[in-house]
Structure 1
Amino acid sequence: MKKQTNGDVEINMHEEMRRAFSLLSGKWKLEIMWLLNQRVYRFGELRKAIPGITQHMLTAQLRELEADGLVSRTVFAEVPPRVEYEITPKARGLGPTMEALTAWWHEYGRTVPVKPTSRGRQAKAVKSKQK
């Protein structure tokens, strides 16, 4: 990819795009962002909405998204505490990208092979002992 100049500063667009991709890389980040683009979610709602994600992984992914300024976390002083997650105005800028992905899926989604939807750790099947 070409290097571009911005005044006296030369910009390596390949490196810049790598930084952009890293914001959403990870097994669950795009799915989390997709859901939060629809509405505000509580932690438990997100966990139920994403089959196969562990509590630990959801927490880690949300923390990374929050650190990158893509998700905001609001804690309400209630008993028990209520925590809500929503995308930030900066993340709303990804809306056209999500719309483009939706349009692409509507056109080509049926041509994509179906993969099992289960993710994460699978419980081992317990064999019953027969006597």
Structure 2
Amino acid sequence: MKKASDRKIPLNLQCGLDLVGEVLYGKWKIRLLWFINQGHRRPSQLNKKIPDASRRVLTIQLNELQQHDLITKTVYPELPPHVEYHLTPFGETLIPVISAIGQWGDEHEQKLRKLITAEE
């Protein structure tokens, strides 16, 4: 994760939306949180759930979610290495929000599809 001094555009954290955007910005972060909550905790499981994302990008976004205290990473000392991710209590507070956004998307699916495909 970039430090504030490494950024081309300075951080603007004036309101809750700015803060949420900073923590959740990233194409796969919301899905990662949702799938971890659903029980898909190993990197290989997450990769299968999000096949369009590269392993590298998922790793970067998982690390950022860890740095923002939304998930924890447990490494089990066995061969081959076994890694699992879990939501923190702080991360669990986002699940109702993600659920509401998903429900909104489902309710407006047709309109959203038309708008998105019209842009192409």
Question: Where on the TM-score scale, by shorter chain, does this alignment land: which range?
Answer: 0.7 to 0.9
**Are residues 1:75 and 2:75 paired?**
yes
**More divergent stretch after superposition (29-38 vs 59-68):** 29-38
CA distance in 1, matches of 2:87, 2:45: 15
Q: 1:57 to 1:24 in 2, by over 3 A?
A: same
CA contact (8 A) 1:32 1:46 kept: yes
Identity of aligned residues (%): 34
What is the aligned partner in structure 2 of residue 8 from structure 1?
A: none
- The alignment's C-alpha RMSD in Å is 2.0
CA contact (8 A) 1:66 1:72 kept: yes
**Are residues 1:60 and 2:60 paired?**
yes
CA distance in 1, matches of 2:55, 2:98: 25
Higher helix share: 2
**Are residues 1:97 and 2:100 paired?**
no
Q: 1:16 to 1:108 in 2, by over 3 A?
A: closer
TM-score using structure 2 length: 0.76
- State the secondary structure of the residue aligned to 1:86: strand
1:69-94, Cα deviation, whole Å (9 max, x unpaired):
00110011111110001111101111
CA distance in 1, matches of 2:65, 2:81: 21
1:28-84, Cα deviation, whole Å (9 max, x unpaired):
111111211211410111111102211111111010000110011001111111000
**Are residues 1:48 and 2:39 paired?**
no
1:4-37, Cα deviation, whole Å (9 max, x unpaired):
xxxxxxxxx8434312221111111111112112
Gaps of 5+ in 1: 1-12, 117-131
Query: What is the 5 A alignment of 1:1-131?
Result: 14-113=14-113
Matched residue count: 104
CA distance in 2, matches of 1:113, 1:16: 28
TM-score using structure 1 length: 0.70
1:72-130, Cα deviation, whole Å (9 max, x unpaired):
100111111100011111011112212212321232113221769xxxxxxxxxxxxxx
CA contact (8 A) 1:73 1:85 kept: yes
Q: Which of structure 1's runs of 4+ aligned residues deviate more than 6 A?
A: none
